Homo-oligomer: A and B are copies of this chain.
Amino acid sequence: MSAKDHLQAFFYPDTVAVIGASSTPGKVGHTVVSNMLQAGYKGKLYPVNPNAKVIEGVSVFNDIESLPRGVDLGVVAVPRGSVIPSLKRLVSVGTKSVIVITAGFKEAGKDGYALEREIVEVCEESGMALLGPNCLGMINASAGVNASFASGNPIPGSIAFFSQSGALCVAILDWALGENIGFSKFVSLGNKAVLDEADMLEYLNEDEETKVILGYVENVERGEEFLRQARRASLNKPVIMIKSGTTAAGAKAASSHTGAIAGSDQTYSAAFRQAGVIRVDDVATLFNLAQAFSTQPLPKGPNLAVVTNSGGPGILTADTADRSALSMAALSQKTVQRLQEFLPSYAAFYNPVDIIGDADAERYRRTLGVVSEDSMVHSILVLLTPTATVEIEETAKAVIHTARKSGKPVFACFMGKTRIRKARAMLMDAGIPCYAFPEAAVKAIEAMYEFYLWKNRPEPVYKEIERDRARAMQVIQTHEQRNVAEIVEFEAQEIVKAYGLPTPRTVLVRSSEEALVAAEEIGYPVVLKIASPDISHKSDVDGVKVNVRNANEVMRTFHEITSRAQRMRQDAYIAGCLVQEMAPPGVKEVIIGFKRDEQFGPMVMFGLGGIHVEIMKDISFRLAPLSRQDAFEIVREIKSYMLLKGIKGEQPVNFTALEDILLTMSQMALDLPQVWEAEFNPVLVNHERAMVADVRMTLQLKR
């Protein structure tokens, strides 16, 4: 049995032991016991304390050894020095899972780090599941479990929340109590010595009480497992996360907290997107989305209809929708005609449908009925301004009625605070998210539509790459044996050939006479490049000459290039020159590369050569393996995509040829783990074909 197999016992324990239980109010060991009681725990609760007899009316065990065998969950709130002995004793009596609340481990320097390694060892040997250390605990409200030292008991609900920051748990719990938001599972992960985000995602994906999964992470350590679990879960239910420590300042703050090393933000963005995780920047948005997702069906398209009793807020909404992935629905002629039958002539019949400040609930009800029946409308937002004449609660009923009848997602924005308070509560109780201003509503609908697209995207297709991996490995091993990290041109070409990548015709020549023969065969003009295993940046020795146009120039250039290189790098072995086919006119230069990320593995990048990658930082990313769709998207995401598509009557480049090279690069990244970075630069592409003109690879040598 491993930790994961005990998660059912962990979340739904029949027996809970509290190690370090205390009769002194205010002490963590007391709060846990009283939280369990206040949560209405129906199972068996065993406070453990060497001296006490009864705590909060519950009989106390004086030591762990006296506990019955096979306790489902132990909560450890003892001083740091006693944690490891307690855990060992819990293992000895067959405890299935534990929460270690105690702090002072990985986050507290070297000694703590060593102690935390011991915790991991105890769990790995025994298979006991462990949450923490340095955490707030876990709450499962529907099962009457509050194994935490939090203040206040959340109500049961369908939102699961896990957080690396215990403080955020405390704040959110307090806030959720005020907002009447309920939770299915509420987990403070702490230092994640054993159980981590990936475990949570795996469990919560199967958890029937959870409709939406929320998470706050500062770093992810088991990157690939996290991605696998996130991808599985997000096909089933929305996974919404805050990843903090994303900026330099944040990462600096993070590294002095929970000992986390935050990865690069680009990598996390790529990873989250590819796993279908909805990433948000702030806590307010996290819960806005959670409420929308947990109550309303997904919109089946981008078209939003807005019904309002006032113009200004309607315009604000249309503005916000236009800046989002949504569109303002164009209502059908039939819908407009039906509206004209009963709305006053001064109403606005087009979206936003403005039914004017004197609208009563009946006018709202009829309008919503008609609008929701328009097949071009995928989602509906009802705006209400609390004018003097409006029937606020009755209108709320009309909205609820429409939502139930139409089956389409319906959202409300009842503007204001005091006069709409009651209606807002009615709407929220009926599962209709109600916002104070339109912007948050549009943001939530947009996220739901994007999630709909994600869930319904075509199954990813992976291309089978024909290759001679052994031939590539041969080159790598030779370099490793020679302890040379850089693989450059004519040896890198071997790898390129092993992967069947298209390249310009290239001949290695050792003399000017050989150069001439090669050039005549390839056809003028040609390119000459210095060929030396010791020179990785050819431009440093002025080692490339393009547009070499005749025999005379070939001979002269060969001598120039080789002698200059030898002069500038006296210790370099000069193999000769490469004579290469010249790129046809109209060709564009792109860069395709990959780089390994510590957490998530190889990340493939794409961008245009020239100023675009280096100066404008116009680059797109995907983690390997790339699917055909990933390759399709990555070349179209860059801002300079228009240049590849062709401007001023140019033909578009051969995108399929580019995508094939990207897929091959992705395969190389998976096949050749010794390669730390690789770059095809430039890849030459025109409307007919794409060729890899130059290659560099860097190995990670063992020390």
Contacts and interface: CB of A to CB of B under 8 A. Distances in A.
Interface of A: 26, 28, 31, 104, 108, 149, 151-152, 163-168, 170-179, 216, 218, 242, 244-250, 252-254, 256-258, 281-284, 309-323, 327-328, 346, 348, 350, 352, 354, 357, 385-389, 415-421, 436-437, 439-440, 611, 614-616, 639-640, 642-643, 647
A249 B303 CA distance: 12
B175 A416 contact: yes
A319 B245 contact: yes
A388 B149 contact: yes
A479 B434 CA distance: 61
A647 B319 contact: no
Contacts of A316: 168, 242, 244, 250, 282-283
B387 A167 contact: yes
Contacts of A611: 640, 642-643, 647
A627 to B, nearest CB: 29
Contact of A250 (B167, B216, B319, B327): B319
B254 A315 contact: yes
Each complex incorporates copies of this chain amounting to: 2
Contacts of A248: 322
Contact of A313 (B108, B168, B256, B418): B168
Contacts of A614: 647
B318 A257 contact: no
Contacts of A417: 174-179
Contact of A175 (B283, B314, B415): B415
Contacts of A252: 318, 328
Contacts of A175: 415-418, 436
Contact of A436 (B284, B348, B386, B640): B284
A305 to B, nearest CB: 12
Contacts of A440: 284
B165 A439 contact: no
A556 B171 CA distance: 81
Contacts of A386: 151, 170-171, 174
Contact of A310 (B165, B246, B310, B322): B165
Contacts of A317: 253
A165 B312 contact: yes
A176 B386 CA distance: 13
Contact of A321 (B249, B439, B615): B249
A358 to B, nearest CB: 10
Contacts of A312: 163-168, 216, 218, 244, 257
Nearest to A351: B253
A609 to B, nearest CB: 13
Given A167-B313, A168-B313, A151 B419 contact: yes
A436 B172 CA distance: 10
Q: Which of A167, A178, A386, A418 has the most CB of B within 10 A?
A: A167
A216 B313 CA distance: 11
A254 to B, nearest CB: 5
A388 B170 CA distance: 9
Nearest to A312: B165
* Closest A-B pairs by Cβ, 7 of them: A165-B312, A167-B310, A178-B417, A174-B416, A171-B415, A257-B311, A250-B319
B108 A346 contact: yes
A118 to B, nearest CB: 20
A363 B36 CA distance: 31
28 contacts: A152-B418, A164-B312, A165-B313, A168-B310, A168-B312, A168-B385, A170-B310, A171-B310, A171-B437, A174-B416, A174-B417, A175-B418, A178-B421, A218-B315, A245-B319, A247-B323, A249-B319, A249-B327, A249-B328, A253-B311, A253-B319, A253-B328, A256-B350, A283-B316, A611-B642, A614-B647, A615-B640, A615-B642
A314 B168 CA distance: 10
A357 B388 CA distance: 48
A284 to B, nearest CB: 6
Given A253-B314, A254-B311, A282-B320, 7 more contacts: A172-B415, A174-B418, A178-B418, A244-B319, A253-B319, A257-B311, A611-B643
A673 to B, nearest CB: 32
A283 B310 CA distance: 16
Given A174-B415, A417-B178, A151 B309 contact: no
A208 to B, nearest CB: 29
Nearest to A151: B388
Most chain B beta-carbon contacts within 10 A, residue among A165, A245, A258, A348: A165
Contacts of A647: 611, 614-615
Nearest to A611: B643
A418 B171 CA distance: 10
B354 A257 contact: yes
Contacts of A281: 320, 439
A90 to B, nearest CB: 25
A424 to B, nearest CB: 11
A348 B327 CA distance: 47
A401 to B, nearest CB: 23
Nearest to A319: B250
A616 B639 CA distance: 7
Contacts of A173: 416
A242 B242 CA distance: 28
Nearest to A136: B387
Contacts of A250: 315-316, 318-319, 322
Contacts of A178: 416-418, 421
Nearest to A164: B312
A317 B253 CA distance: 9
A137 to B, nearest CB: 12
B244 A315 contact: yes
A244 B317 CA distance: 9
A172 B387 CA distance: 11
Contacts of A388: 26, 28, 31, 149, 151
Interface centre among A28, A149, A178 (most CB of B within 10 A): A178
A350 B216 CA distance: 23
Contact of A256 (B168, B218, B309, B354): B354
Nearest to A435: B284
